[in-house]
Structure 1
Amino acid sequence: MAQWQDLLRLDAALQARVSQLYEGRFPREIRHYLCVLIESLDWDLAAGDENAASTCFHALLEDLQEQWIRSVQENILLQGPDYTGMKDYLLKNFEDKPLNLAVILSECLKEEQKIKASASEAQACGSPDMDQKWKWKDMDNKINELKRLIMEVNKEIKSLEILNDNLDFIQKTWQNKVEQDIGLAQSHAVVEEECRKRTNFIIQTKQVVLQEIVNILNLAQPIVATLTEVELPEWRLRQQLACIGSLANTCLDHLQKWFTAVAEVLLRVREQLQKLKEQNNTPDSTDASILPGLMAIIENQTLSLFTQLLANALVVEKQPIMSSLPQRPLILKTGVRFSVRVRFLANLPEFKCLLKVKPVFDKDVEEIKTVKWFRHFDFNSDECKVLDVDSPNGDLVTEFGHMSLKEIKGRAKGSIESRLAVTEELHIIKFVTEFRHVGLELNIEASTLPVVVISATTQVSSAWASIMWNNMLSTGDSRNLQLFVDPPPLTWEQLSQVLSWQFLCTGMRELDENQLSVLRNKIVDDPDDLVHWSKFSKNENAWLWIDGILDLIRKHLVDLWRDGSIMGFISRERTAELLKEKRTGTFLLRFSESKTNGAISFSWVDNANGAPFVHSIDPYTKDELEKTSLPDYINTYSLRGRKSRHTNPLLYLYPDIPKDTAFGHYFTNTAEKMLAVDGYVHRKRGDFSDNPTPPPSPPREPNTDMEMEMDFETKQQKKSRDHCSIISFYGINIYRYVF
């Protein structure tokens, strides 16, 4: 359970990688509710032992049954999880194949550990650099000094209480004795002198205490400024970049520790000032008369710092995100639920259940009032929540887990002002609360990053382009909701970074310099290395092509992309240069440049005719990879010669890795895996191409022979139009048949 709980505390990008592990393989709901048992069983052993797999499978069923019985006894069926549904799923999918369940969970648990490890390395709550560590240590030292000083003041206040009690005792006791014995009146002057000395000492001590409080406030002032004007904005920027794929540190532990410590010191200062006011029973004197005015000044300074700190203490810890798009926060669809989490960083017991937070859509957004084509939205239900400490770590947090939007006013039809697409229109959600404590009244707000509201899933890709563009340009607290009326360009350095993050989040591997160079040549045509919005996501829409490839990786190629088997972005010219230097049968995997919805091809070198020549296969689309995995296509692919002899030309993955070494563990059609219970080997559809017409490589002297060859192939193409696909690559046409 510890591993699953740790994963739940990761940021949205890393949680999306966890979700991706289970997508289409195993319900995350079962992983969540059976996390304790799942993590206690040996799935590695079960993955290779059918008896052990069966034992583990039945253990899951028994645990689900026990939890269901317990939920019945506690009468929580209406609000509890669907235990019977989870049990039915396990029985339906794994009762006859418990080994499959063991393999899935064994692999997923290992990948979870890798994600958790990468988070530990990248986040620091994980591993800050030396400068960051020094800054944190310096802040810790300053706050520890604050705590030490406030403890000293506490001691002084207690001493003052004792001094005041003693003075009061002497005064009252002496007066009683004077009333009982007239003879004691002769010592009255002596007693008055003693009281005067004690009073002067108390006044001096109060002045010392007030000076110590001033020292505390002088030390607290730059700390509060650093927290609210430096540390918090830096965290917000890291969160902003994390939303679009960066592995930046978004942990709030240090900020919460500092906010809480400083808030506690300032709260204690206010209490001590109140005690000093209550002790102000000394007789009038020049020194005593200045104390109330001095205390008022100190109290105002304390209140100002306290207000500055608390006004910034409410933060959006988790930005709006739909469960159906875990890797793409800040995209919201009307009528679809999304979640947001807010936290109050000053986590003091006195503030528990004190703050009631309400979300407001587009609060104080000027565009709502002035721009006719700006759409209006509201929440489907009013939802207010109280910040409490029911979280596992006792933080003052609350999660709005069932929010959804409705459109209450659309664009005016035919409006000439409508210069933005729906996916270019930015909105914000604010969370507001009223703080009331010990005479301090304060309205506190926290804003989400700008969100895009869509009405159809087909708009997701364009909306994400807007989210990336906005978050790379509008850093910090700037909120230009009309950014795309006249969007500034991005530098290639900015865009290449965010594109690389997309591949890291999707396939756990960034783009290297060679891959980025190919993309740069395709996207950048500006002498200043600028990329304009119209080039990226409007007219030519390079992003649509890139996003199609990301979707292809997400659905079918995650493992191959992560382990580096896919070269991916490489031009045809560069492909030929690399492969012509290699031995026959060397091949590489590259993404199609012509299919915008994502496709992948392989190219290989043939030296059979005495000169190296590179062939390429018609790209595989998502529909084809849905039926058969790419490694299986590679394993079964063959060329059919004139005598119908099939040979697989793919022997070595570039640069020189034997095909079985690179892909063997992905193959699902080996004889061992295909052997049925009855002893028969299952038949499988094959994938092959006709050999290029003789000669298999271009003749050394082109033109006439080449033209004849192309004429022949054109006729062949017409004859087999309904049975094959064709790709032209350096004058060679290769047909791929799939039965």
Structure 2
Amino acid sequence: MALWAKLQELPEEAQHSVQMLYSDHFPIVVRAALAHWIEEKPWNDLDMDNPQHEHYAKSLVNSMIREIQAKANTENNFLMRLQLTDSAKNFEINYINNPFFLVNTVKKCLQKEMKIVQQAENHFAFDIKKDTDQEIAEELEFLRRRTQESEEDVRKMQQEQEQFLIQYQESQKRHTYIQQLTNSTQPNAELLSKLQKDKDALDSALRHRAASLVQMRNVWVDKHFDTFNSLNRLQMKVLDEELIRWKRGQQLAGNGAFFDNNLEKIQEWCECVADVTWQTRQQLERVLSLCTQLPFQTQHSPVDRIAILKKQINNLLSNLVTTTFILEKQPPQVMKTNTRFTSTVRLLVGGRLNVHMNPPQVKVSIISEAQANNILKADKVVMMNESSGEILNNTGTMEYHSATRQLSVNFRNMQLRKIKRAEKKGTESVMDEKFSLFFQSQFSIGGGELSFQVWTLSLPVVVIVHGNQEPHAWATVTWDNAFAESNRIPFAVPDKVTWQRVGDVLNMKFKAAVGRELTSDNLRFLAGKAFRNTQIQDYDNLCLTWGQFSKEPLSERNFTFWEWFYAILKVTKDHLRQLWNDGSIIGFIGRKQAEEMLLQRPKGTFLLRYSDSELGGITIAWHGENQERSEVFMLQPFTSRDFAIRGLPDRINDLKHLLYLYPDIPKDQAFGKYYTPITENQPQLNGYIKPVLVIQIPGLGNNCSFDSYPNTPQSVLHNPHSPGDASLYHENPASVRSNSTDHTMNIGSQILPDMDYGDIMNMDLASDMDVPVDFSTINVSDLMGVYDKQN
């Protein structure tokens, strides 16, 4: 989301702080009218102490004035139009000769805006997190106190029952003695009367004590039903909210999202819940034992209620144990057969319940989508014996680490040897098929009193056998990670989602892989390409289908939108990261727009844009001259293969006709820090001098003027597809040409048999060649072998 849009969503107090940033020097009405334009400009890169930046600063101020005037001319609101017109006049008077005053003002305002947004977002997130943590902590403290009180109640109940039994025994003794006296030959009436009165008093006390015990038991059970309800709510909050949020964050992290890994805090909560649950269960056992020792025949016996409560507590404990059996580290979601991978399983309550006293084994298998569905539909947990493949090193024993209180097992050397795929339908491919790793174990606690069968599924996994399947596999994984819903049927995802959500995902992945996020212009360009329509004004609420995203080829291309984007992401991450983060690469821009922008700048101005026709390609577009006519030329795109030989900054440095990075940043200022230092070439340890590759453009020597281009071809034979050379490019790698005049290089089939090497090197390629040849198919070693034989 753009900065200005974020500001408008802030609380009223924060918005007031933003308003206070602006004055007549830089009115807020200008900031609002030119929000997008202002945020796209490199204000932070301009240094008033650098004389080379002054020219660009003046250009930026002039552009800003023109933008304000244009906005005023199209503004319907009369008051707004007047304010913009006045601002344009004031800027022209005050800043034309002092551009850095405005530059620094804008820079400071943007920095302070960003700070206000960050403070508001952090405060909001912190408040939510603080409230949740505090709420859980308070509920846990309440349950601890309740458990302690309940323990004290059980102790009192036990004492009361012991006193009752003592008195009952006394009553029984008196009853026996009275019986003996009554049956004697000479009973003592006075003594009998006294004994009977004592017994009656004792029996009365026993009845009161019995009634008190019954009441104590019922009150205690009632309190435990309340405790159970509180415990159930807290457990749901920890497991169904916090742990599910953690799992969702783990899944989104697969797309590059920031992951707030608070698993240690969640484990602490789960352990506290386990403590309270286990203590409650033990108290129920003791009270049930007391009731069994001294049963009272009452209408509402607590024994039945205790049995119900015990069953509920057992279910709560079972849910806690099975749900906290989790994957701390997910296996790779794009999994290549016969390639080692790792994963870590953890039981969050294992240490607290002493599961490690008899360490359980964990087994891993890979299952299909249908098998995952069957597991979730099963009424009871059944150990899974079926699988859709063979995994090596798929068993491990959980270990307890006392320092971290973690019970876990780390699978370090798993390897998928075989995979059994389902039958494909329609346009489905193997990269559309999703599997999951199934982790299962069983163990008992409480001296074997309770047994558990636990299992968990990994995030969806796409299995590939070759590297060229990776892009499509990542499309499946990316779509699933982004748009999967909680508690879904495995592994259902929507077939279409709004572009706004898709754009957020692309931005997330690009920022995570490269560093700098995509701009709104970048996302607008990507939307036009994804929808195959650049005329739409508002893409955000349009729905993009899975087919448009990853199945259907782009117009006049043999690759999909995702394959094109993924290739750009990869080449930028591997070779162009610093240039992208510096803002030196415009990248996502159409050919026509690039030409329009460059033709407004001086000759020698160039920009870098991603190729529309070659996967993972980036081209240099520059403003040159052809037959005394201004024209924009574009080099055949460079790819990772080229950058593995010579980096893009060095290639740009080789081309001396490239003078300014758009709009007017001197080339050396933009790329100089990335040039490979030139040192005196001394012989290496092996006695050889290392050569240096230099890029050239056929027909345009590095020291030639623009007037000589492109009518003077090179006098040496260049392979336009070799890494050391660059060819002119017109979105068609098959030919070498400018965007208006075709300069296809041809070679006659009779040349090699009839001419020697010197003749070939000195021939005029433009006039003597008439048969098109793909130079990349020529075997240079064979040619040199022919030459050696002839000489």
Give the distance between the partners of 2:442 and 2:431, measured in 1 at CA. Answer: 34
Give the distance between the partners of 1:368 and 1:156, measured in 2 at CA. Answer: 47
Alignment of 1:673-712 (within 5 A): 684-689=692-697, 690-691=699-700, 696=706
Instruction: Return 216-225 or 176-185, whichever deviates more.
Output: 176-185
Once the two structures are TM-superposed, the CA of residue 471 in structure 1 deviates from its matched residue by 3.0
1:603 pairs, out of 605, 614, 621, with 621
**Where does residue 103 of structure 1 map in the other structure?**
none
- Aligned residue for 2:212, secondary structure, equals helix
1:200 pairs, out of 192, 195, 211, with 211
Give the distance between the partners of 1:368 and 1:170, measured in 2 at CA. Answer: 62
Note if 1:446 corresponds to 2:456.
Answer: yes
Once the two structures are TM-superposed, the CA of residue 143 in structure 1 deviates from its matched residue by 2.7
Give the distance between the partners of 2:459 and 2:228, measured in 1 at CA. Answer: 33
Matched letter for residue 460 of structure 1: E
- Aligned residue for 2:331, secondary structure, equals strand
**Where does residue 333 of structure 1 map in the other structure?**
336
- Aligned residue for 1:263, secondary structure, equals helix
Give TM-score, length-normalised by structure 1: 0.67
**Where does residue 551 of structure 2 map in the other structure?**
538
Matched letter for residue 532 of structure 1: T
Note if 1:510 corresponds to 2:521.
Answer: no
Note if 1:151 corresponds to 2:151.
Answer: no
1:663 pairs, out of 651, 659, 671, with 671
Give the distance between the partners of 1:514 and 1:318, measured in 2 at CA. Answer: 36
- Aligned residue for 1:434, secondary structure, equals strand
Q: Name the Cα RMSD after superposition.
A: 4.4
Note if 1:345 corresponds to 2:356.
Answer: no
Instruction: Return 725-734 or 140-149, whichever deviates more.
Output: 725-734
CA separation of 1:367 and 1:267: change in aligned 2, threshold 3 A: closer
C-alpha contact (below 8 Å) 1:537/1:543 kept by paired residues = yes
Instruction: Return 606-615 or 398-407, whichever deviates more.
Output: 606-615
**Where does residue 727 of structure 2 map in the other structure?**
725
**Where does residue 136 of structure 2 map in the other structure?**
139
Give the distance between the partners of 2:145 and 2:715, measured in 1 at CA. Answer: 86
Matched letter for residue 150 of structure 2: V
Matched letter for residue 448 of structure 1: S
1:358 pairs, out of 358, 363, 385, with 363
Matched letter for residue 693 of structure 2: R
Once the two structures are TM-superposed, the CA of residue 695 in structure 1 deviates from its matched residue by 9.4
Once the two structures are TM-superposed, the CA of residue 276 in structure 1 deviates from its matched residue by 0.7
CA separation of 1:175 and 1:480: change in aligned 2, threshold 3 A: closer
Once the two structures are TM-superposed, the CA of residue 172 in structure 1 deviates from its matched residue by 5.8
Give the distance between the partners of 1:669 and 1:724, measured in 2 at CA. Answer: 22
CA separation of 1:399 and 1:431: change in aligned 2, threshold 3 A: same
CA separation of 1:284 and 1:522: change in aligned 2, threshold 3 A: closer
Once the two structures are TM-superposed, the CA of residue 314 in structure 1 deviates from its matched residue by 1.8
Once the two structures are TM-superposed, the CA of residue 441 in structure 1 deviates from its matched residue by 3.4
Give the distance between the partners of 1:163 and 1:152, measured in 2 at CA. Answer: 16
Once the two structures are TM-superposed, the CA of residue 477 in structure 1 deviates from its matched residue by 3.0
Give the distance between the partners of 1:143 and 1:553, measured in 2 at CA. Answer: 49
- Aligned residue for 1:202, secondary structure, equals helix
Unaligned runs of 5+ in 1: 1-120, 322-329, 370-374, 640-648, 699-708
C-alpha contact (below 8 Å) 1:613/1:697 kept by paired residues = no
- Aligned residue for 1:320, secondary structure, equals coil
**Where does residue 90 of structure 1 map in the other structure?**
none
Once the two structures are TM-superposed, the CA of residue 220 in structure 1 deviates from its matched residue by 2.0
C-alpha contact (below 8 Å) 2:341/2:415 kept by paired residues = yes
C-alpha contact (below 8 Å) 2:399/2:408 kept by paired residues = yes
Give the distance between the partners of 2:288 and 2:282, measured in 1 at CA. Answer: 10
Note if 1:380 corresponds to 2:391.
Answer: yes
2:475 pairs, out of 452, 455, 465, with 465
Alignment of 1:106-255 (within 5 A): 128=125, 130-168=127-165, 185=195, 187-255=198-266
Give the distance between the partners of 1:431 and 1:352, measured in 2 at CA. Answer: 17
Give the distance between the partners of 1:681 and 1:364, measured in 2 at CA. Answer: 59
Matched letter for residue 601 of structure 1: T
Give the distance between the partners of 1:437 and 1:494, measured in 2 at CA. Answer: 46
Once the two structures are TM-superposed, the CA of residue 582 in structure 1 deviates from its matched residue by 4.2
CA separation of 1:392 and 1:537: change in aligned 2, threshold 3 A: farther
Once the two structures are TM-superposed, the CA of residue 465 in structure 1 deviates from its matched residue by 1.3
CA separation of 1:529 and 1:340: change in aligned 2, threshold 3 A: same
Aligned residues: 572
C-alpha contact (below 8 Å) 1:428/1:451 kept by paired residues = yes
CA separation of 1:146 and 1:717: change in aligned 2, threshold 3 A: farther
**Where does residue 25 of structure 1 map in the other structure?**
none
2:269 pairs, out of 258, 266, 270, with 258
- Aligned residue for 2:400, secondary structure, equals coil
Give the distance between the partners of 1:177 and 1:366, measured in 2 at CA. Answer: 72
Once the two structures are TM-superposed, the CA of residue 138 in structure 1 deviates from its matched residue by 2.5
Once the two structures are TM-superposed, the CA of residue 362 in structure 1 deviates from its matched residue by 1.2
Give the distance between the partners of 1:492 and 1:409, measured in 2 at CA. Answer: 35
Q: CA deviation digits over 1:492-546, x for unaligned, max 9? A: 2232222222222321222211112222222213787333344433341122222
Q: CA deviation digits over 1:159-183, x for unaligned, max 9? A: 3333344444566688889999998
1:576 pairs, out of 578, 587, 595, with 595
**Where does residue 112 of structure 1 map in the other structure?**
none
Give the distance between the partners of 1:509 and 1:666, measured in 2 at CA. Answer: 18
**Where does residue 436 of structure 2 map in the other structure?**
428
Matched letter for residue 622 of structure 1: S
Matched letter for residue 450 of structure 1: P
**Where does residue 623 of structure 1 map in the other structure?**
641
Give the distance between the partners of 2:648 and 2:624, measured in 1 at CA. Answer: 21
Once the two structures are TM-superposed, the CA of residue 245 in structure 1 deviates from its matched residue by 2.1
CA separation of 1:267 and 1:720: change in aligned 2, threshold 3 A: closer
- Aligned residue for 1:725, secondary structure, equals coil
Q: CA deviation digits over 1:568-612, x for unaligned, max 9? A: 21122222333444455443322222211x122333445999997
Give the distance between the partners of 2:372 and 2:149, measured in 1 at CA. Answer: 53
Note if 1:267 corresponds to 2:272.
Answer: no
C-alpha contact (below 8 Å) 2:369/2:436 kept by paired residues = no
- Aligned residue for 1:340, secondary structure, equals strand
CA separation of 1:724 and 1:149: change in aligned 2, threshold 3 A: closer
Give the distance between the partners of 2:226 and 2:319, measured in 1 at CA. Answer: 18
Q: CA deviation digits over 1:248-301, x for unaligned, max 9? A: 434323432333222221211110001112223675545596121221222122
Note if 1:492 corresponds to 2:499.
Answer: yes
- Aligned residue for 1:687, secondary structure, equals coil
C-alpha contact (below 8 Å) 2:431/2:462 kept by paired residues = yes
Q: CA deviation digits over 1:74-132, x for unaligned, max 9? A: xxxxxxxxxxxxxxxxxxxxxxxxxxxxxxxxxxxxxxxxxxxxxxx99x999945434
C-alpha contact (below 8 Å) 1:361/1:430 kept by paired residues = yes
Unaligned runs of 5+ in 2: 1-117, 182-190, 375-385, 554-559, 730-736, 746-774, 776-791
- Aligned residue for 2:578, secondary structure, equals helix
C-alpha contact (below 8 Å) 1:273/1:295 kept by paired residues = yes
Instruction: Return 452-461 or 428-437, whichever deviates more.
Output: 428-437
C-alpha contact (below 8 Å) 2:646/2:693 kept by paired residues = no
Where do 4+ consecutive residues of structure 1 move more than 6 Å?
124-127, 173-184, 607-612, 673-678, 680-683, 692-695, 715-719, 732-737
Give the distance between the partners of 1:694 and 1:555, measured in 2 at CA. Answer: 33
Give the distance between the partners of 1:299 and 1:368, measured in 2 at CA. Answer: 32
Give the distance between the partners of 2:452 and 2:337, measured in 1 at CA. Answer: 33
Matched letter for residue 655 of structure 2: Y
Give the distance between the partners of 2:290 and 2:719, measured in 1 at CA. Answer: 100
Give the distance between the partners of 1:443 and 1:364, measured in 2 at CA. Answer: 21
Instruction: Return 384-393 or 269-278, whichever deviates more.
Output: 384-393
Give the distance between the partners of 2:442 and 2:122, measured in 1 at CA. Answer: 31
Give the distance between the partners of 1:344 and 1:465, measured in 2 at CA. Answer: 32
Once the two structures are TM-superposed, the CA of residue 428 in structure 1 deviates from its matched residue by 1.6
Identity rate, percent? 25
Q: CA deviation digits over 1:604-662, x for unaligned, max 9? A: 445999997544333322222112222222233224xxxxxxxxx32x43444443443
C-alpha contact (below 8 Å) 1:256/1:345 kept by paired residues = yes
**Where does residue 406 of structure 2 map in the other structure?**
395
C-alpha contact (below 8 Å) 1:609/1:696 kept by paired residues = no
